Amino acid sequence: MKVSGKPKRMFDFRGTFICFAFMIFDIFAVNFSYFIALVIRFYFNSEFNSYGLVYIPAFQKIAPWYTVACILIFWIFRLYNIRWKYSGLNDLNRVLLACLVTCVVQVLGSTVFVMTMPITYYVIGAVLQFLLIAASRFSYRLFLMERSRIFRRRGTSFMPVMIVGVGETSQMVRRHLERDLKNDAYPVCIVDFRGEEFGNWLEGLPVVSGIGGIAKAIKKYDIERVILADNTMPKDVRKTIRDICMEQNVEVQDFAGFYKESYGAISLYNLMEYTKGRVELVIDDKRQSFDNGDQAVMSVNGKYLVKSVSASENMLVVELQRDIVVPNNLEEEWVQNYEKETGEEISFF
């Protein structure tokens, strides 16, 4: 008998252990921060200043309640259910907001229920607490990043790579290469083909300004592969860079095209851009040959998508299918069933 329904989720022991480990560290961090603030403010000549001794009992009274409040606030700000291995700027902002809220709780709680503490106590304690909480969350991520860099540079199969582009796609490619320890390729420099970033460094990598410096940088850094990683790069610039790499006998890989085409079907224009030699197009079982990809593109009227690609007698054979737009005549029952099963709404606008 077939049983439907979602599979039961097993107990995540590792995640629970990490959550409790963070809680234990936070208990230490929030109290240590404000105690050290008192020490910095009143500890001189190997002893507490007599004026500062009155604040120690006050600190001891507020500490248990403040600890409970911090744990609850950190839980509300989701500081215990995030995979900090992939943490980013948004997570850092969440840590900052949580620490600001706890700082307000510290000020109001001590003032209303115990006594007013020195301003330096609140300021130094809040800063130290934020640094400790942020360090505990981001230290593992920093460790993984530095470990990948160290192991790559010590590896015997190290492949120096040049990334062309300084935008978001370039950053995606760089992060992917640095984190993937199974990949021999490792970025050693970045090229700004617009020539705006002269003499700068980006994420620890030198920036080559302009395509005119590519040939020199290939020799300087012993580049074995050049990756084009900018969706806005003009076609003539791509061709110029490919020609330079061909002269230097360096492999070229177009990641910008990969990211753009991985989200949908490949168009004939995108395929012909990287095609050299004779091409045969198959449209509705009719075949026509061309000397190169440019002629093939010019011969096609309308929008077609690549159905299949094969090779025959030193010729690339491309079978095309028309990109048909489905008219808005879907049955209402089918739409309702689809939305119910997937939870996604269908819009025809």
DSSP assignments along 44-88, one per residue: ETTEE-TTTTTHHHHHHHHHHHHHHHHHHHHHHTTSSSS-GGG--
Dihedral of alpha carbons 307, 256, 162, 174, sign: negative
pLDDT at 157 (0 to 100): 63
Residues 14-58: tens digit of each pLDDT: 778 888 889 999 999 999 999 999 999 888 767 778 888 889 999
Nearest-angstrom CA–CA distance, 199 and 240: 22
Residues 86-118: tens digit of each pLDDT: 667 788 898 999 999 999 999 999 999 999 999
Give the pTM. 0.51
DSSP assignments along 187-202, one per residue: EEEEEETTS---S-EE
Residues 229-285: tens digit of each pLDDT: 887 788 888 889 999 999 999 988 877 544 444 444 566 766 776 677 788 888 878
Nearest-angstrom CA–CA distance, 78 and 213: 47
Nearest to 296 by CA among 284, 305, 288, 306: 288
Dihedral of alpha carbons 294, 298, 299, 303, sign: positive
Complete edge-to-edge strand list for the sheet that includes strand 159-164: 201-202, 205-209, 185-192, 159-164, 225-228, 251-254
pLDDT at 149 (0 to 100): 61
Task: Give the torsion through C-alpha atoms of 89, 91, 94, 98, to 10 deg.
Answer: -120
pLDDT at 279 (0 to 100): 86
